[in-house]
C-alpha cells in the first residue's frame, strides 16, 4: 500500500529528526518528500520535478538513476554485499585503491577506506599525529586550521573546524588548534593583500611553534561550507612550500573539491601540489553510497611498519571500511569519467556559463559571485556599495531557496550565500536554466514584493546554515 503525501508528511514529522534543520520550523512546513530521481532532476511524491542544483548536498556526479551505476551495484550484489577489510581484502576495494592512486597527485600511494568525509578527515588527523609519534616526535600534538574551515561534524573534525555557528558551542570537548586566516578577497580590508597577510601569520606561527605542530589542514582552492570562497592563484602552492620548510604535514580535505568539481580531478592539481595526506568522499561514488578514503605517501605509511611487538600499528577502522558495493559503484563512476572526458567537460562548461552568471552581478543585492569549476557561491548583501550583510533573522538565503524550490530547483544556502553545485553532467543549457531560476528567485526575494523584516516568521522547509 502506498502512503499518501499527507500520511508521509505526518510520519516524517512524528519520527524523523533532520540534520542541520531547526525542527520547530520544519514541523510547520510542508516537507519535501522525494520519491525518485531521473537524470539531474529529483521528483517528489506529488510528481513535481526539481533540478538537483546542489547535487543532493554536493555529491551527485552523473545524475540520478544512472543505468551503468545501477548495474554495477546489482552485479556486485550477486557476489557479496560486504566483508570486512580488517586483515583481509576484497576485489573491488583492491581495484578502486589502484585507480585512486592513479588519479590522485603523484606520491599519494596508499589508500585507507572509511565511509564519509568526516571519518576520512579523522583518519588523516590521527594518521598524521601517529606518524610523528611513531618516529619519536612526541611533542607534535596540535594542528593548524583556517578561519571558517569545515571538515565534518565528528568531534575530531570539529576540532579543526572554524565556523563559529557550528563549532563554538562544542569548544570544551575539542582539542586545541591554531587558526590562521583563509584569504577572502571580497571581505578583506582594503590596502592589504589577503594572501600575504595569511602567509605572514602562518610563517610567524611556524617559526614559533613548528616543533609542536603535526600538520595544517585545508580545503584546497575552494572553502566550501564557509561560502564557496576561492583562494587567489598561487596561494596553496605557497602554503605547501612553507610547510615543507618547517617540516609540518599538509593535509588536504578534498571531500568537496575532489572528483572534478573544480575543473581538475583534484583541486590540488591547479597548483601542482602533492599533500602528505588527502581526504576524499562525496563525489567518489557519484552520490550513490557512503564511501570515503584517506590517501597518503609511502613516507607516512612507512612510519607504521614495525615489528608487531612495537605496537606501531594504526589502530583505527570502521565496520564498513572498503564496502564492496560502494567500491564497485565508485569504480564504475570513475569509468564514466574517462568515457565522458568529464573533468575537461566541467572546465569547459564552467567557462561557458561565466557570462550568464556574471549577469547576476547587476542585481541590486548580489555582492559577489565566486566560481571554480562547477562550485559556485552567490553572496547576497543588504547593500552592494557597503557590502553590508543581511541580518541572520532575515533568513535571506533560506527564502531565496524556498522560492527557487517553488520554481522547480533545489539548493541549500550557506547563510546569505546561494549555492549552485550541480551534477557534473549538467549541460550548458541546463546550467543556464538553473541560473535563470536562481536569478528570478533572488530578484523576487531581494527586490520584489516580499520585504525583509527582521525576525519575520516564514514557513521554510530548510534551515539557514
Ligand atoms: C561535506 C564535507 C565534509 C564532511 O563530509 P561528510 O561526508 O558529510 O562527513 C568534510 N569536508 C568538507 C570540505 C566537506 O565539504
Q: Name residue, grid cell 594518521.
A: 127
CB atoms within 10 A of CB 358: 12
Residues 206, 249 contacting (CB under 8 angstroms): no
CA 232/CA 107 separation, integer angstroms:
25
Q: Which of 19, 20, 152 to mutate to test the pocket of ligand 1 (most atoms within 8 A of CB)?
A: 152
From ligand 1's centre to the CA of 256, what distance in Å?
Answer: 6
Lateral strand order in the sheet of 417-420: 366-372, 375-380, 417-420
Query: Across the chain, what does the average pLDDT equal?
Result: 95
* CA of 292, closest atom in ligand 1: 7
| 350-399 tens-digit pLDDT | 999 999 999 999 999 999 999 999 999 999 999 999 999 999 999 999 99
Radius of gyration of the chain (CA): 22
Which grid coordinates belong to 340?
565522458
| 214-261 tens-digit pLDDT | 999 999 999 999 999 999 999 999 999 999 999 999 999 999 999 999
CB atoms within 10 A of CB 171: 11
* CA of 157, closest atom in ligand 1: 10
| 405-454 tens-digit pLDDT | 999 999 999 999 999 999 999 999 999 999 999 999 999 999 985 444 45
Residues 95, 273 contacting (CB under 8 angstroms): no
From ligand 1's centre to the CA of 58, what distance in Å?
Answer: 9
What pLDDT does 452 receive?
A: 46
What pLDDT does 246 receive?
A: 98
* CA of 223, closest atom in ligand 1: 13
Write the CATH number of the domain with boundaries 32-65+341-459: 3.90.1150.10
E-strand ranges in 348-434 read 366-372, 375-380, 409-410, 417-420
CA 21/CA 464 separation, integer angstroms:
8
**Which residues approach ligand 1 with their CB closer than 6 A?**
116-118, 121, 150-152, 219, 224-225, 253, 255-256, 281
| 84-139 tens-digit pLDDT | 999 999 999 999 999 999 999 999 999 999 999 999 999 999 999 999 999 999 99
CA 345/CA 349 separation, integer angstroms:
6
- Sorted by where each begins, the domain ranges of the chain are 32-65+341-459, 69-340
* CA of 116, closest atom in ligand 1: 7
Q: Which of 219, 220, 224 to mutate to test the pocket of ligand 1 (most atoms within 8 A of CB)?
A: 224
What pLDDT does 448 receive?
A: 86
Q: Which of 54, 150, 258 to mutate to test the pocket of ligand 1 (most atoms within 8 A of CB)?
A: 150
Class of domain 69-340: alpha beta
Amino acid at each position: 500500500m502506498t502512503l499518501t503525501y499527507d500520511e508521509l508528511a505526518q510520519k516524517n514529522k512524528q519520527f524523523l529528526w533532520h540534520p542541520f534543520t531547526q525542527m520547530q520550523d520544519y514541523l510547520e512546513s510542508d516537507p519535501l518528500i522525494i520519491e525518485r530521481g531521473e537524470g539531474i532532476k529529483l521528483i517528489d511524491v506529488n510528481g513535481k520535478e526539481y533540478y538537483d542544483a546542489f547535487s543532493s548536498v554536493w555529491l551527485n556526479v552523473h545524475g540520478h538513476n544512472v543505468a551503468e551505476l545501477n548495474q554495477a551495484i546489482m552485479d556486485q550484489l550477486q557476489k557479496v554485499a560486504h566483508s570486512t577489510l580488517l586483515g583481509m581484502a576484497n576485489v573491488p576495494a583492491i581495484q578502486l585503491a589502484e585507480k585512486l592512486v592513479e588519479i590522485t597527485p603523484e606520491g599519494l600511494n596508499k589508500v585507507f577506506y572509511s565511509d564519509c568525509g568526516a571519518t576520512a578527515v579523522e583518519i588523516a588527523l590521527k594518521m598524521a599525529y601517529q606518524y610523528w609519534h611513531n618516529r619519536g616526535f612526541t611533542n607534535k600534538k596540535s594542528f593548524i586550521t583556517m578561519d571558517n574551515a569545515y571538515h565534518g561534524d565528528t568531534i575530531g573534525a570539529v576540532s579543526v573546524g572554524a565556523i563559529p555557528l557550528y563549532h563554538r558551542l562544542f569548544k570544551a570537548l575539542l582539542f586545541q588548534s591554531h587558526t590562521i586566516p583563509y584569504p577572502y578577497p571580497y571581505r578583506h580590508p582594503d590596502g592589504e593583500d589577503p594572501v600575504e597577510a595569511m602567509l605572514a601569520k602562518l610563517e610567524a606561527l611556524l617559526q614559533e611553534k613548528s616543533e609542536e605542530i603535526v600538520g595544517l589542514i585545508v580545503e584546497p582552492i575552494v572553502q566550501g561550507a564557509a561560502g564557496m570562497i576561492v583562494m587567489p592563484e598561487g596561494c596553496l602552492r605557497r602554503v605547501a612550500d612553507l610547510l615543507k620548510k618547517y617540516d609540518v604535514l599538509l593535509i588536504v580535505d578534498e571531500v568537496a573539491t575532489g572528483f572534478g568539481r573544480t575543473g581538475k580531478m583534484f583541486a590540488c592539481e591547479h597548483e601542482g601540489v602533492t599533500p602528505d595526506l588527502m581526504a576524499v568522499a562525496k563525489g567518489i561514488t557519484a552520490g550513490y553510497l557512503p564511501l570515503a578514503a584517506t590517501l597518503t605517501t609511502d613516507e607516512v605509511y612507512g612510519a607504521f611498519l614495525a615489528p608487531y611487538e612495537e605496537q606501531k600499528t594504526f589502530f583505527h577502522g570502521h565496520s564498513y571500511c572498503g564496502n564492496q558495493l560502494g567500491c564497485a559503484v565508485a569504480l564504475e563512476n570513475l569509468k564514466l569519467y574517462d568515457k565522458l572526458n568529464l573533468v575537461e567537460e566541467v572546465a569547459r562548461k564552467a567557462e561557458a556559463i561565466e557570462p550568464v552568471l556574471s549577469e547576476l552581478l547587476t542585481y541590486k543585492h548580489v555582492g559577489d559571485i565566486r566560481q571554480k569549476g562547477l562550485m559556485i557561491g552567490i553572496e547576497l548583501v543588504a547593500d552592494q556599495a557597503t557590502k553590508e550583510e543581511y541580518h541572520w533573522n532575515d533568513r535571506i538565503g533560506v527564502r531565496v531557496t524556498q522560492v527557487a524550490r517553488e520554481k522547480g530547483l533545489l539548493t541549500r544556502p550557506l547563510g546569505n550565500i546561494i549555492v549552485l553545485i550541480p551534477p557534473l553532467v549538467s549541460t550548458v543549457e541546463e546550467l543556464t536554466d538553473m541560473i535563470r531560476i536562481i536569478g528570478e528567485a533572488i530578484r523576487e526575494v531581494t527586490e520584489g514584493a516580499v520585504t525583509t523584516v527582521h525576525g519575520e516568521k516564514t514557513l521554510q522547509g530548510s534551515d539557514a546554515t
